[in-house]
Amino acid sequence: MIDIDKIMEILKKDNEANRVIRTDFVNFMEKISDPYIVLICCILSLRTNDKTTYPCSMRMLELGKTPNEIAKLDKETLEKAIYPVGFYKNKAEQIINLSKILVEKYNSKVPNTIEELVKFKGVGRKTANLVLAKGFNIPAICVDVHVHRISNRTGYVKTKTPEETELTLREILPKKYWIDYNTILVTHGQNVCKPINPKCNICSVKDYCKKLIK
Tens-digit pLDDT profile for residues 131-183: 999 999 999 999 999 999 999 999 999 999 999 999 999 999 999 999 999 99
The predicted structure's pLDDT at residue 81: 98
Check pLDDT > 60 for residue 9.
Answer: yes
**Averaged pLDDT for residues 106-130:** 97
Q: Measured between alpha carbons, how far is 168 from 158 in angstroms, rounded to an integer?
A: 9
Q: Measured between alpha carbons, how far is 157 from 173 in angstroms, rounded to an integer?
A: 10
- The mean pLDDT value of the chain amounts to 96
CB-CB contact of 179 with 141 (8 Å): no
Check pLDDT > 80 for residue 212.
Answer: no
The predicted structure's pLDDT at residue 160: 97
Global pTM reads 0.94
The predicted structure's pLDDT at residue 103: 98
Read off the pLDDT band of 117 (50, 70, 90): very high
Check pLDDT > 60 for residue 214.
Answer: no
Q: Amino acid identity, residue 17?
A: A
**Averaged pLDDT for residues 106-124:** 97
Give the Cα-Cα-Cα angle 32, 33, 37 (nearest 5 degrees): 70
The predicted structure's pLDDT at residue 2: 84
Check pLDDT > 70 for residue 24.
Answer: yes
Q: Amino acid identity, residue 193?
A: C
**Averaged pLDDT for residues 193-212:** 92
The predicted structure's pLDDT at residue 106: 98
